[in-house]
């Protein structure tokens, strides 16, 4: 059986944060109902929409879920939501701060209906502290948490990371909190409120940068390009090859000694390079020696030369190359699917459990596709009541 078989999840989230968390739950077997306003998740309407009117970004994150259209600002929509929460194991939400409470469906209200309910709230900055309640998106959290200040080169401007790391790291943290709360509920019989703030989730990833700044007495530049975030490991960089770029790093003295022998360059025997501290002080000179070697070889030749040495190295792939990478295809985390409607692409399951099969993703649902069925089959509404909710604009 799947790990989360029988777990019912209601997701009131948009963009990537809560939707990615609920996607992980769905891939492990949870039944996820995605609640959307009558206008739909804003990410349905990004440029380059698919034939069904949804963007590929939305489809990748929301495949394998059911969709229900519900106006939570209306009394009818709020009543439907309460009835859903009464049957649910988990409610996941990342609406604007305070929205759930304003609608009368915050955690304190819902726990009165369902004491076993776990509510997982994704926020930008949490429910307490000076920034509590401020709206947040991936970019603004990167700005306020020094991710942008530490990305790029010293003489360049602050730069956002290529991927939306804040939303996805936050979603993974929220998933972990939910699983922990489900486990605790098995012992206590009671649910609880799980909160993950994006700023809290991303801050630990800056550990090397923070340590480097403190250890240098504030002298270290915040942006270190492709070098180690704390400037504490050399070599550690992307180096030119004859056909592109390749990354090479030597986290220990043994790694450097092996690389030095492979490069067979007298300049690598410079006494300044004999220790990690010395190499860090002479990082530019070390990089010149390493790149003099890599630039005479192709990326594959560099990797072949380092094969079996334990020296971490990898080619710098383009996004197009990643889409065709055989290892990524073998792992199945990026899935190319086919059904009666044609070919489509989505995300698989990055969580591998030996005794729990993953759930095959299905296409992301159309806006409100399952609304009537959920109302009728699971909440007990009859046709007249459903039509009344529709007329009132609640669904």
Rounded alpha-carbon distances, angstroms, from residue 189 to 89, 183, 186, 210: 12, 10, 6, 41
Q: Taking Cα atoms as reference points, which of 78, 2, 21 lies closest to residue 347?
A: 21
CB atoms within 10 A of CB 276: 16
Residue by residue, DSSP assigns 27-78 as: HTT-EEEEEE-TT--GGGGSSSB-TTS-BHHHHHHHTT-EEEE--TTSHHHH
Q: Which residues are catalytic?
A: 167
- Burial (CB count within 10 angstroms: exposed 0-12, middle 13-18, buried 19+), residue 294: buried
Q: For residues 321-353, b (16+ Cβ closer than 10 Å) or e, as one string?
A: eeeeeeeeeeeeeebeeeeeeeebebbbbeeee
CB atoms within 10 A of CB 215: 13
- Give the distance, in angstroms, between the CA of residue 217 and the centroid of all CA atoms in the same chain: 33
Q: Bridge-partner residues for 335, per DSSP?
A: 346
Q: Taking Cα atoms as reference points, which of 110, 108, 136, 268 lies closest to residue 200?
A: 136
Here the contacts of 263-267 (C-beta below 8 Å, separation 24 or greater) are 263/289, 263/290, 263/293, 265/289, 265/292, 265/293, 267/292
């Amino acid at each position: 059986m799947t790990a989360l078989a029988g777990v019912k999840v209601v997701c009131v989230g948009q963009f990537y944060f809560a939707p990615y968390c609920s996607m992980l739950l769905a891939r492990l077997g949870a039944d996820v109902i995605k609640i959307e306003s009558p206008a739909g998740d804003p990410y349905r309407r990004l440029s380059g929409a698919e034939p069904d009117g949804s963007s590929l970004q939305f489809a990748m994150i929301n495949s394998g879920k059911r969709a229900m259209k519900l106006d939570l600002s209306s009394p009818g929509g709020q009543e439907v939501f309460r009835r859903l929460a009464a049957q649910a194991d988990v409610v996941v939400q990342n609406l604007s701060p305070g929205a759930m409470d304003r609608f009368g469906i915050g955690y304190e209200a819902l726990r009165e209906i369902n004491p076993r309910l776990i509510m997982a709230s994704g926020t930008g900055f949490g429910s307490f502290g000076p920034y509590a309640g401020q709206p947040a998106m991936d970019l603004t959290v990167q700005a306020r948490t020094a991710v942008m200040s530490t990305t790029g080169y010293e003489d360049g401007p602050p730069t956002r990371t290529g991927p939306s790391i804040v939303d996805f790291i936050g979603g993974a943290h929220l998933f972990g909190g939910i699983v922990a709360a489900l486990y605790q509920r098995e012992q206590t019989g009671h649910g609880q409120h799980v909160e993950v703030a994006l700023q809290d989730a991303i801050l630990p990833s800056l550990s090397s940068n923070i340590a480097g700044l403190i250890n240098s007495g504030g002298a270290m530049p915040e942006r270190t390009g492709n070098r180690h975030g704390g400037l504490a490991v050399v070599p550690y960089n992307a180096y030119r090859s004859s056909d592109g770029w390749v990354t090479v790093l030597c986290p220990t003295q043994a790694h450097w000694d092996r690389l030095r022998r492979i490069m067979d360059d007298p300049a690598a025997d410079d006494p300044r390079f004999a220790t990690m501290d010395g190499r860090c002080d002479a990082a530019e000179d070390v990089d010149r020696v390493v790149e003099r070697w890599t630039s005479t070889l192709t990326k594959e030749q560099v990797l072949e030369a380092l094969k079996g040495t334990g020296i971490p190295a990898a080619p710098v792939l383009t996004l197009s190359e990643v889409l065709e990478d055989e290892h990524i295809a073998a792992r199945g985390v990026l899935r190319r699917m086919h059904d009666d409607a044609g070919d489509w692409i989505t995300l698989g399951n990055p969580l591998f459990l030996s005794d729990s099969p993953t759930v095959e993703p299905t296409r992301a649902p159309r806006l409100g596709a399952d609304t009537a069925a959920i109302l009728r089959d699971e909440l007990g509404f009859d046709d007249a009541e459903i039509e009344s909710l529709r007329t009132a604009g609640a669904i």
